[in-house]
Structure 1
């Protein structure tokens, strides 16, 4: 059994829908989760503040959001009435998809910027696309994976064209900004096993001192702060969304023993893991 962030997948190869109330969104409003599926969202009304891989995004009218598999996602605030189109493909379906250059290219662009603002004509096209998928599902029952793959590829080709028409952020990043960004991705991939800055510096081919200096300059925070953010976020999610004993949560995050984990958690959160678990949900949102 994997002891880490709760994972969200889809029960079918493909789903689509439209949200006009916040019931489903509220399920993601308390604690982070890791997305196993690939999710696409078009916001037409309402405002949502969300965290994607520890970075904050404000999603409102005209925003198109893509959550790639492995994304750590949490909703922080929902304001106003919502009108949201969404679609998604399951991890099982994605394993059946042959990688193509456009999919790979746009995946890198989405990792850098998962939320983009669409022009009016692109908004209309996105809405039409969601409706086409929905109608296809009604007519064909979505039993045919070849049809699903064509629908998926067409969306990824469209997203690839959309991102190519934008000024890609990475082209404008300084070397230090790229290094800090690469460090953040490495932390997302390895925080449950590695807490030592030297490990990440080695992966990037630089010294720990240089990495620490660059990350501090770019983000205003230390490397250890960023690593701790991920560890504490994961710990909080497991404490609130599972019944795992605390010693197993400590083990899943590679602490030597539950005592070390308890001290680490209390230093960053201010209370013990058990006290945090016992708190009511509305007391834990800060």
Structure 2
């Protein structure tokens, strides 16, 4: 099955038996990719390692994963679940577990499942597909979001023990996790790397090195991502005035706040609220 350009417009896509020759070169830049192998096998290289895919394995590729030499056997049969970056990012049920899952997937892109778990996983794939394709449902968006959150938590449950062992055995991973938790709590008031480095009793340079090595992004990028997400939520809350939001984010004046919003979102607070609420 050849994926056409229109695929990139979809937030969720489930495909049966997709061969490696059918994958566009920039495919994994667009989606979180889940491959559930049901027969045959395959292989690929990532993070200077070669990985094999066998029956009942699930493969997890994060967007922009550096996957090379992806190949499948002639009898390969699998179900692919593709979820857009934006949809997956806004449906993370828990930041702590989200960090664990992120780190685990980077280090363990292939996980072997028991037969019963693999069958349940495929059922979840198809359930998401059905929810997404039910365009007439009055609460389609809400149901898709809830169903995706349930799916994510089911995956965390399957990988829970392995994820915990990975985090505990990896000092840098543990520091990164603590940094992410701190950013979630304090990003609105504190947007400087130095604040978080001080909280962790390390230098800003070392914190950025840890973030870059663990996640591919430096500390300031993570702070900006969390801040922007929270800023958008505040701006979309029409019960809050711009002065209240500026105070929450520790801006000394509303004019400084307005310039910050313009820089980050490309629109003034008034323009953004008018367009998106």
Q: Which has the higher contact order (CA 8 A, sep 6+)?
A: 1
1:168 shift after superposition:
4.8
1:17 aligns with 2:15: yes
After TM superposition, list the pairs within 5 Å mapping 1:1-286 onto structure 2. 10-19=8-17, 22=19, 25-28=20-23, 35-97=29-91, 100-101=94-95, 102-140=97-135, 144-166=140-162, 168=164, 170=166, 173=169, 203-204=205-206
Contact 1:40 1:86 in 2 (8 A): yes
CA distance in structure 2 between the aligned counterparts of 1:114 and 1:134, rounded to whole angstroms: 23
For structure 1, the residue ranges without an aligned partner over 5 or more in a row are 1-8, 183-201, 206-286
CA distance in structure 2 between the aligned counterparts of 1:141 and 1:110, rounded to whole angstroms: 35
**What is the DSSP-based 3-state SS (H/G/I as helix, E as strand, rest coil) of the residue aligned with 1:147?**
helix
The TM-score with structure 1 as length reference comes to: 0.50
Relative to structure 1, the CA distance from residue 74 to residue 117 in structure 2 (aligned partners, 3 Å threshold; closer, same or farther) is same
Tell me the equivalent position of 1:280: none
CA distance in structure 1 between the aligned counterparts of 2:161 and 2:15, rounded to whole angstroms: 28
Relative to structure 1, the CA distance from residue 110 to residue 95 in structure 2 (aligned partners, 3 Å threshold; closer, same or farther) is closer
Relative to structure 1, the CA distance from residue 32 to residue 94 in structure 2 (aligned partners, 3 Å threshold; closer, same or farther) is closer
Relative to structure 1, the CA distance from residue 174 to residue 132 in structure 2 (aligned partners, 3 Å threshold; closer, same or farther) is closer
For structure 2, the residue ranges without an aligned partner over 5 or more in a row are 1-6, 177-203, 208-277
CA distance in structure 2 between the aligned counterparts of 1:138 and 1:144, rounded to whole angstroms: 9
1:12 shift after superposition:
0.8
Contact 1:10 1:91 in 2 (8 A): no
The alignment of Structure 1 onto Structure 2 pairs a total of residues equal to 175
Contact 2:128 2:148 in 1 (8 A): no
Q: CA RMSD in A?
A: 3.7
**What is the DSSP-based 3-state SS (H/G/I as helix, E as strand, rest coil) of the residue aligned with 2:76?**
strand
